[in-house]
Amino acid sequence: MTLKEKVYWPDTTQMPSGELVKELQSRVDVAVVGGGIPGLAAARTLAGRGASVAVLESETMGWGASSRNGGMALTGLKLDAEVVEARYGAELTRQLFEDSVAALDTVEQLIVQEHIACDFSRCGHLLLANKPAHYIALQHEAEWYAQHFNHITHLVPKNNLHDEIGSDIYFGGLVDESSAGLNPAQYVAGLAQAAERSGAALCPKAWVTRIQKAGDGFKLDTVRGSLLASQVLVTTGGYTGAATPQLRRRIIPIGSYIIATQPLPVDLARELIPRRRMVFDYKHYLNYFRLSADNRMIFGGRAAFFPETSTTIRSSADILHAEMVKVYPQVTDAVVEYAWGGTLDFAFDQMPHTGQLAGIYYALGFAGHGVALGTHLGTRMANAILDGTVNELPYSTYKFSSLPRGLYNGRPWFLPLIGLWHRILDWIY
C-alpha cells in the first residue's frame, strides 16, 4: 500500500466545505480571524450572545492544527507548574492550572450540548519516564500537584507498567484520569456546525491580507473582498501571518508530525494500550501516541521542528516509524498508511496568551494544548470581549514578548538551534 501523505482524521468525517458562505458580509460586530478550534468556539459564544460574527479562514474550517493534532485533550500547560510558579507566583499558577482542568469540562459540556459525535472519552493520560531519574521527577510532580492544587494523579512503577502499556522500555509513569481523547476532525467539524447554528457566518478561503483601523473599528481586506468590524479577534495559531505582524513576531511556528497505521487486530491494540489512554513521554524531543477508534496506532512527535513540507513529512514518517517500533516491537510489520504534519503556535515563554495589541484581540500560544485550552479560551475570550473584561483573564496578566525588533519577523531561522538544544537536554537529563 502506498503511504498517504495526508491527515487521517478528515477521512473519518465530512469536513466543512468551502461553500458555506457565498459572499462576505459588509459589516459585523466581531471578525474572528482563524477558523480552528479557538476561533470557532469564540464565534459560537459571540453569536449565541447576539453579536454578528464572521469567521475568516484562509483555507477551510479546521484545516490547520485543529484537525491535524493527535486528538489529546490534556490538563496542565506546556510548562511544569513549578516553573510557572517560579515566574508568576503561586496564585496565578493556581488560576492557570485550575483553568486547564476546567477546559476539559468545557469541551465535554460543548460536545453534549451540541451533540457532536467525535469519540470523546475521559480516558486519562499516561506520562512515561524514559529514564529512572524521570520517574523520580514524576513522584515529585504527583506530590506537588496533590499538595498545591488538590489534584490527584497516580504513579505506576515499572513493575506494574504492563497494566498501562505493552512496552518494556520505560521506567514507570504517571496517570491523570482527568484528561480525554477525541477525534479532532469530527470535533472541529461539529464545532463549525455549532457556530453556524448560533448565527456565525463561516467564511472559508478568505485569507486576510490586511487589517487597518477604520473609524471606531477595523477594515479587513481578504482575497474574497473586504468587510468592516467593530472588533477583531485573532486565533490563527502557528499560521499567524503578515496581516498581523505585531502578533506574528510573538509566535514561533513549530512543526509536529504524526503517522497512522492500518487498523490493528483487537487483541494487539489491547496489548499496546490496555486502557486506551493518551500517552506521551518525558523527553523534550517527545513522542506521543494513542489508539484511534478503529484501532490504528496514531504515533506523533517532534521528528522535525520546521513546519510541514513534503520533504519533512516523508523524513519524519521514517523517524516516527523507527521510534514507534522502538516502543512497540510488536508493530514492526504493521503498515503505516498515513503521514502528515501540522504547525503548532509556541510563544517565546511557552505560555498561552490572551489580550489586546494595537486594538486587536488575540488568543494564541497553545503549544500543543489547543484542543481543550483552545476551546476554553475561545469561549472565555468571547465573553470577555462582550463584557469588557479581557484584561482580567489570567492569560492577559503577563507579558507577551518577542525578540528585539529586527531579530525575528515570524520566520523561525533559529529552529535548528532549538532542535539541537532539546536533543542535548534529552541526553543530559
Instruction: State whether the Cα torsion 99-251-37-372 is positive or negative.
Output: negative
Q: Does domain 9-124+177-424 have CATH number 3.50.50.60?
A: yes
DSSP output for 83-97: HHHHHH-HHHHHHHH
Taking the domains of the chain in order of start, what are their residue ranges? 9-124+177-424, 125-176
Nine cell digits for residue 223 = 482575497
Residue that the C-alpha cell 475521559 belongs to: 122
Confidence (pLDDT) at 27: 95
Strand partners for 287: 301
Confidence (pLDDT) at 304: 61
Nine cell digits for residue 248 = 506574528
CA-nearest of 341, 342, 340, 302 to 5 is: 340
Contact 149, 135 (CB under 8 A): no
Confidence (pLDDT) at 57: 96
| Helix, strand, or coil (residue 75) | coil
Any residues with CB less than 8 A from the CB of 143 and at least 6 apart, and which? none
Residues, the chain: 429
- Rounded distance between C-alpha atoms, residue 373 and residue 77, angstroms: 9
Nine cell digits for residue 117 = 459525535
* Backbone torsion region of residue 413, taken as left when φ is above 0, otherwise alpha when ψ lies between -120 and 50, otherwise beta: alpha
- Rounded distance between C-alpha atoms, residue 326 and residue 338, angstroms: 19
Q: Divide the 429 residues of the chain into consecutive groups of 10 and give the mean pLDDT of each group.
A: 89 77 84 98 98 96 95 94 94 96 98 98 98 95 95 97 97 98 98 96 96 96 96 96 94 92 98 98 89 98 67 88 96 96 92 96 95 98 98 96 80 69 63
Distances from the Cα of 343 to the Cα of 271, 286, 367, angstroms? 31, 16, 10
Instruction: State whether the Cα torsion 32-36-37-38 is positive or negative.
Output: negative
Question: Which H or E element spans position 65?
Answer: helix 65-68
DSSP output for 351-399: --EEEEETTEEEEE--TT-TTHHHHHHHHHHHHHHHHT-GGGSGGGSS-
CA-nearest of 22, 54, 374 to 231 is: 54
Distances from the Cα of 286 to the Cα of 44, 174, 175, 230, 408, angstroms? 34, 16, 17, 42, 26
Contact 364, 42 (CB under 8 A): no
Confidence (pLDDT) at 403: 82
Q: Are strands 173-176 and 297-301 parallel, antiparallel or unpaired?
A: unpaired
Question: Which H or E element spans position 253?
Answer: strand 251-261
Confidence (pLDDT) at 136: 96
Any residues with CB less than 8 A from the CB of 197 and at least 6 apart, and which? 114
- Rounded distance between C-alpha atoms, residue 89 and residue 94, angstroms: 9
CB atoms within 10 A of CB 113: 10
Q: Which amino acid does the sequence have at 316?
A: S
| Helix, strand, or coil (residue 107) | helix
CA-nearest of 231, 221, 117, 136 to 174 is: 136
Question: Which H or E element spans position 42?
Answer: helix 37-48
Contact 54, 39 (CB under 8 A): no
